[in-house]
C-alpha cells in the first residue's frame, strides 16, 4: 500500500446526513458516505464522529475523588511468589546478551537502581471493567440536536445510558490514586489481567493482544521503569516483539516500576508535585488512555509541602492530612482529571486503519466511541471530570488546592470560574448544531466570579503564585490552583447554598487547534456548590505564600542559546513516509524509530534544545521524558511571556502555538538508557510524532 487515502465527510455533508435523523444517516452512510470500494477494507479512514446522546440532568452526580490507594500489607507481600526484587524487574526474566546490555552496559530485566530503604509496594491490576459516566437519563439526538430513535429502539424517549467498557487500573476510571512522598521510594507491580473480560464486549479499540505499558508522567525514572516504546523495543525485541502490538506486556505478564521519590540531582528545587500515570503502548496510547488507563499520583514534599496546612515548618498550602494505616488522605486538596469522550450513536460508521470496514455498531449505542486514526486528533462532545460527566463538587467556605490534569486525547481547555442567574442551557435549545453541540451545555449569561492563584504547573511548585482570571490546560499538562471559596471577586462574602461553575471557554471543534475566539462558547464542565462554613475545630489556617519554590540555576549561555543555529533542533511536522500508512506526523522528517535515536547525550551532561512547531495549522503539546526542563525563550524572547506566565517554573510539556519556536534547558542525570520525546496530542503521538533519544553511561 502506498499510503492510505483520507475519505472525509465535510461538515455540510454531515449536517445533511443528520437532517433526516439517525435512520437516514445510516442508510446514506452505507451507500454514499462509504463507497463500496473503500468500505471493503484497506487503509482509509472515515472522518465522521457520532453525536452523543444528550445528558438531561447534569450537575447532580457528585465529583468522585479517587481515594488514596493502600500499599500491599507486609503480611500479604510475604505470600507473593515473585516479590519485588532488584534482580528481577518483570516477569520476562533476565537477558544478559541483548543489544541493550552492549549499548548501555546494563542488564535487561534488572532494576538499574534499587534504593537503600525498603520501597513501599503497591499492586495495580490492569483489568476489563465497566464504567458509568452519568446516572442521568439521556436523550438520543442527531447532529441537528433533534430527538431521534436510536437503532434497535422503537421510540425517541429518554433512556438510561449503558455502562461503557474500560481497561482500567484496578478496573476503575480514573484509576487509583497513589499519594506519594519524596524520600519514600515506591514499587508498583503492574499486572496484565486484560484477558479476563468476564464476557464483556471490549469493542473495537485498545491495543491489540490487550497489551499495556504504563508511563509515570513525568517521573525522574530509569528507562526500565519508565514504560515507553524506546525501552520496550529492547525489552521485547529479543522475544520477537518488533511491531508495536508485541512490544508491551501481554496478559499474564507483570512489571515492577520503581519510582524512587528522588529529585533529580538530589536538588530540592527539582521536586515536583503532581504526577499521573497512563498507558504508552506505541500506536495505541490514545486508544488505551481513552479506554481508561489513567491514574493519579500527587507527590508531597515532607520539607515544605507535606499536605498539612497546620505545619508551621511548611508552606501551609491548603490541605489537612489524615493518616491511615501507612497511607494518607489529604482533605481540601483535590485532583481533577479532565477527559472528553463521544458515545456511539449507532449510525456513525466505524472505520479507521485498525478497525472495521465502515459498519455501524448499533449494539454499542451509548458506549464510548473512538477513532484510532483521526486526521488531526480526537475531540469529544461530552466533558467529564474524574470519570463523571458534568459533576457537582460541594465545598466549604475556605481555600482549596485544586490539581488540574488534562487527560484528554487532544482537547485544550481554557477554564474560568463563573456564576450565572439563568443557569446552564442545552446547546441545542440555543440553536446550535453540528460541532457546536460539543460540550452539550452552555452557560449563556456566565460571568467571572472568582480568581485562581496558580501555585504549581506540571514541574511542581512555581517560584511564586500567579493570580489568574483564566488558564489554559493542554493535554498532559497539570496546573494547580488555590481557590478561596469565602469571597466573590467583588469582595463580598459567599453564603451557603450559592453556586458557581467551572467553565471551559476554549472552542476547539477539531483536534487541530482552537477555533476562532467565540465569546458565546461557555461550557459549564463542573458545578461547585458552597455548603457552608468550616467546622469550628478545623479552621482554615492555610495561606497563599508570597514565595513557593525557587527554580534550579541555569547557565547564562542557555539564555542566549536561541541565537545559536547549531543547538539540537527538533521540528514537529505534518508529513508521511512512503510505505508507512500509519505515519502522519514527523519530527525532523522522520517517524519514530527505536533504532534511530536522534540524540545521545552523556549521563551528567546538560544541554539546550530547540523545539519548533513546523506548521501554522496545528498546536502541539510536546512532552519530553526523564527530567523537567526550563523554558529559556519563546520566539527568541526571554521567557516567561505574558501568554505563558508559568514558564517561570519547570515543565515537562512544551505548549507549542502554531509555528512557535521554544528553546529549553535540560539536564540528564542519574540514569542511562533509552527515552522518548513526543507530542501529547495522542493521535499525533500514535502516528509517529515521537523520537527516541538516549543517555549514554
Ligand atoms: Cu502534535
User: What is the Å distance from ligand 1's center to 626 Cα?
Assistant: 19
Looking at residue 242, its pLDDT comes to 64
Ligand 1 centroid – CA 681 distance (Å): 5
**What is the arrangement of strands in the sheet containing 294-300, beginning at the earlier edge strand?**
180-181, 294-300, 274-279, 214-217
Q: What is the structure's pLDDT at 208?
A: 85
The secondary structure of residue 268, as a DSSP letter, is: G
pLDDT at 22: 34
Q: How far is the CA of 513 from the centre of ligand 1 (A)?
A: 10
- Supply the Cα-derived Rg of the chain in whole angstroms: 24
Ligand 1 centroid distance, CA of 345 (Å): 28
Q: How confident is the model at residue 89 (pLDDT cuts 50, 70, 90)?
A: very high
CA of residue 377 to ligand 1 center, whole Å:
8
Q: Return the CATH architecture of domain 64-136+163-311.
A: Sandwich (2.60)
In the chain, where are the structural domains located?
64-136+163-311, 556-695
Q: Taking Cα atoms as reference points, which of 266, 315, 696 lies closest to residue 482? A: 315
- pLDDT confidence of 373, banded at 50, 70, 90? confident
Q: What is the dihedral of CA 99, 103, 104, 105, to 10 degrees?
A: 80
- Evaluate if residue 15 carries a pLDDT over 70: no
Q: Which residues pair with 448 in a beta bridge?
A: 418
Band of residue 31 on the pLDDT scale cut at 50, 70, 90: very low
The SS3 of residue 578 is: coil
CA 171 to ligand 1 center in whole angstroms: 29
- Grid cell, residue 27, equals 442508510
Give yes or no for a contact between 111 and 89, defined as CB atoms under 8 angstroms apart: yes
Rounded to whole angstroms, the Cα distance separating 381 from 127 reads 26
Q: What is the mean pLDDT of residues 181-206?
A: 96
DSSP state of 405: E
Unique residue bearing C-alpha cell 487527560: 407
pLDDT attached to residue 20? 34
Q: Output 60 or 96, whichever has higher pLDDT.
A: 60
CATH of domain 556-695: 2.60.40.420
> How remote is the CA of residue 292 from the centroid of ligand 1, in Å?
21
pLDDT of residue 41: 34
pLDDT recorded at residue 97: 87
Provide the whole-model pTM.
0.94
Contact 474, 653 (CB under 8 A): yes
pLDDT at 32: 29
Could you tell me which of 255, 388, 378, 341 has the C-alpha nearest to residue 53? 341
| Confidence category of residue 48, pLDDT binned at 50, 70, 90 | confident
| Centroid of ligand 1 to alpha carbon of 656 (angstroms) | 9
Beta strands in 234-387 (DSSP E): 254-259, 274-279, 294-300, 320-324, 327-331, 333-343, 350-352, 355-359, 368-369, 382-385
Burial of 566-583, coded b for 16+ CB within 10 Å and e otherwise, reads eeeebebbebbbeeebbb
Helices (H) and strands (E) in the chain, counts: 9, 43
SS (H, E, C) 32-62: HHCCHHHHCCCCCEECCCCCCCEECCCCCCE
Of the chain, the end-to-end C-alpha distance in Å amounts to: 41
Question: Is the fold of 64-136+163-311 the same as that of 556-695?
Answer: yes
DSSP, res 287: H
Distance between Cα 81 and ligand 1 center (Å): 43
Closest CA to 484 of 530, 525, 522: 530
Continuous H helices in 555-681: 556-560
Percent of the chain with pLDDT over 70: 93
- Cα–chain center distance at 564: 34
Q: 439 CA distance to ligand 1 centroid (A)?
A: 22
Q: What is the pLDDT of residue 19?
A: 35
**Ligand 1 center–CA 143 separation, angstroms:** 27
List the shell of residues around ion ligand 1, using CB closer than 5 Å. Answer: 620, 679, 681, 684
Q: Please give the grid coordinates belonging to residue 66.
A: 479517587
Amino acid at each position: 500500500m502506498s499510503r492510505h487515502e483520507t475519505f472525509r465527510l465535510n461538515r455540510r455533508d454531515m449536517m445533511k446526513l443528520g437532517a433526516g435523523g439517525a435512520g437516514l444517516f445510516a442508510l446514506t452512510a452505507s451507500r454514499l458516505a462509504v463507497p463500496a470500494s473503500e468500505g471493503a477494507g484497506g487503509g482509509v479512514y472515515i472522518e465522521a464522529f457520532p453525536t452523543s446522546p444528550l445528558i438531561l440532568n447534569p450537575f447532580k452526580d457528585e465529583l468522585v475523588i479517587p481515594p488514596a490507594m493502600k500499599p500491599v500489607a507486609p503480611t500479604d507481600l510475604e505470600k507473593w511468589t515473585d516479590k519485588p526484587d532488584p534482580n528481577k524487574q518483570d516477569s520476562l526474566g533476565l537477558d544478559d546478551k541483548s543489544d541493550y546490555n552492549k549499548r548501555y552496559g546494563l542488564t535487561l530485566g534488572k532494576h538499574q537502581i534499587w534504593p537503600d530503604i525498603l520501597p513501599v509496594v503497591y499492586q495495580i491490576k490492569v483489568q476489563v471493567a465497566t464504567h458509568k459516566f452519568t446516572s442521568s437519563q439521556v436523550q438520543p439526538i442527531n447532529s441537528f440536536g433533534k430527538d431521534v430513535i436510536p437503532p434497535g429502539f422503537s421510540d425517541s424517549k429518554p433512556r438510561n445510558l449503558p455502562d461503557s467498557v474500560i481497561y482500567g487500573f484496578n478496573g476503575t476510571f480514573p484509576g487509583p490514586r497513589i499519594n506519594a512522598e519524596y524520600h519514600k521510594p515506591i514499587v508498583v507491580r503492574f499486572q496484565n489481567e486484560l484477558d479476563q473480560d468476564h464476557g464483556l464486549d471490549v469493542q473495537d479499540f485498545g491495543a491489540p493482544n490487550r497489551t499495556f505499558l504504563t508511563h509515570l508522567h513525568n517521573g525522574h525514572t530509569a528507562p526500565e521503569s519508565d514504560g515507553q516504546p524506546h525501552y520496550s523495543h529492547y525489552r521485547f525485541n529479543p522475544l520477537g516483539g518488533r511491531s508495536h502490538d508485541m512490544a508491551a506486556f501481554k496478559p499474564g505478564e507483570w512489571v515492577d516500576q520503581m519510582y524512587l521519590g528522588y529529585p533529580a540531582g538530589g536538588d530540592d528545587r527539582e521536586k515536583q508535585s503532581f504526577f499521573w500515570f497512563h498507558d504508552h503502548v506505541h500506536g495505541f496510547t490514545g486508544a488505551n488512555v481513552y479506554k481508561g488507563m489513567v491514574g493519579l499520583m500527587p507527590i508531597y514534599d515532607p520539607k515544605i509541602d507535606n499536605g498539612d496546612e497546620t505545619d508551621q515548618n511548611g508552606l501551609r498550602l491548603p490541605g489537612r492530612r489524615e493518616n491511615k494505616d501507612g497511607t494518607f488522605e489529604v482533605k481540601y486538596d483535590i485532583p481533577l482529571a479532565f477527559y472528553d469522550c463521544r458515545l456511539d450513536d449507532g449510525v456513525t460508521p466505524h472505520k479507521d486503519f485498525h478497525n472495521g470496514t465502515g459498519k455501524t455498531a448499533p449494539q454499542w449505542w451509548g458506549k464510548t466511541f473512538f477513532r484510532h486514526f483521526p486526521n488531526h486528533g480526537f475531540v469529544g462532545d461530552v466533558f467529564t471530570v474524574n470519570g463523571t460527566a458534568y459533576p457537582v463538587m460541594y465545598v466549604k467556605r475556605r481555600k482549596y488546592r485544586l490539581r488540574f490534569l488534562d487527560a484528554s486525547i487532544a482537547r485544550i481547555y481554557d477554564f474560568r470560574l463563573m456564576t450565572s442567574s439563568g443557569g446552564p442551557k442545552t446547546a441545542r435549545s440555543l440553536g446550535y448544531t453540528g460541532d457546536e453541540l460539543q460540550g452539550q451545555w452552555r452557560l449563556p449569561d456566565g460571568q467571572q466570579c472568582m480568581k485562581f492563584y496558580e501555585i504549581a504547573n506540571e514541574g511542581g511548585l512555581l517560584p511564586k503564585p500567579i493570580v489568574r482570571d483564566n488558564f489554559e490546560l493542554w493535554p498532559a499538562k497539570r496546573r494547580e490552583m488555590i481557590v478561596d471559596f469565602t469571597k466573590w471577586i467583588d469582595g463580598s462574602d459567599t453564603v451557603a447554598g450559592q453556586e458557581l461553575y467551572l467553565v471551559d471557554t476554549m472552542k476547539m471543534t477539531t483536534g487541530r487547534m482552537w477555533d476562532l475566539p467565540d465569546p458565546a462558547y461557555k461550557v459549564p464542565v463542573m458545578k461547585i456548590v458552597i455548603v457552608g462554613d468550616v467546622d469550628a475545630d478545623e479552621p482554615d489556617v492555610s495561606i497563599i505564600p508570597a514565595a513557593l519554590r525557587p527554580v534550579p540555576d541555569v547557565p547564562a549561555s542557555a539564555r542566549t542559546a536561541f541565537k545559536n543555529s547549531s543547538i539540537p533542533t527538533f521540528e514537529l511536522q505534518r508529513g508521511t513516509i512512503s510505505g508507512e500508512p500509519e505515519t502522519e506526523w514527523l519530527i525532523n522528517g522522520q517517524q519514530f524509530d527505536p533504532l534511530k535515536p536522534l540524540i545521545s547525550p552523556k549521563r551528567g551532561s546538560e544541554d539546550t534544545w530547540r523545539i519548533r512547531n513546523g506548521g501554522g495549522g496545528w498546536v502541539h503539546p510536546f512532552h519530553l521524558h526523564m527530567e523537567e526542563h526550563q523554558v529559556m525563550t519563546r520566539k527568541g524572547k526571554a521567557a516567561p511571556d505574558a501568554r505563558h506566565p508559568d514558564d517561570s517554573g519547570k515543565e515537562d510539556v512544551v505548549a507549542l502555538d502554531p509555528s512557535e519556536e521554544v528553546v529549553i534547558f535540560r539536564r540528564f542525570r542519574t540514569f542511562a538508557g533509552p527515552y522518548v520525546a513526543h507530542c501529547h496530542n495522542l493521535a499525533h503521538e500514535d502516528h509517529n510524532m515521537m523520537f527516541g533519544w538516549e543517555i549514554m553511561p
